[in-house]
Amino acid sequence: MATLDTLPPQRRAIIELLLRQGQGYDGVASMLDIPEARVRELAREALASLAPGSARRVDDEWRDQVADYVLGQQTGPESRATRGHLKRSEPARTWVSSLIDSLDPLYGDGDRPEIPSADGGGAATESRRRRGSESKPESRRRGGAGAAGAAA
């Protein structure tokens, strides 16, 4: 499994801006002067390269949504749909668990995404339990003035 340090510099910077600074894809695109679609693509590729074996086992139709969830780029209905998929998909839960372990230093307190248990109980991840933080994926923002102001 690759580590955050092994990512190409641009991909690592994108992941750090998304997680550590709470930026959205649009904010990162503006900061780096590249199209938002390219930021999204590079971020998703970075996550796939951190845990390629488990990423390949995630349903193609859900991989991008799961990546967005891990990066805090979903709110409301999208986030609920992804959590629902995670309850039903062991491969997706495995990938998310691997990613959270790799990205743990970048998450702020309470920003680690929840990995729902297969039984629908919404159990917290072991790594989050160890740290004792509460997760509220809906509290993450996609960007905007608040996130841009934090980066300034």
> pLDDT by residue for the chain (152 residues), tens digit each?
678 999 999 999 999 999 999 999 999 999 999 999 999 999 999 999 999 999 999 999 999 999 999 999 999 999 999 999 999 999 999 999 999 999 999 998 878 999 999 864 544 444 343 344 444 334 344 444 333 333 43
Tokens linked to 29: 């695109």
Q: Is residue 40 part of a domain?
A: yes
**Cα-Cα end-to-end distance for the chain:** 34
Phi, psi of 18 (to 5 degrees): -65, -45
Distance of CA 133 to the CA centre of its chain: 17
Q: Count of domains in the chain?
A: 1
Q: Is residue 146 part of a domain?
A: no
pTM above 0.85, yes or no: no
Q: Is residue 151 part of a domain?
A: no
Domain, as residue range, for 21: 4-139
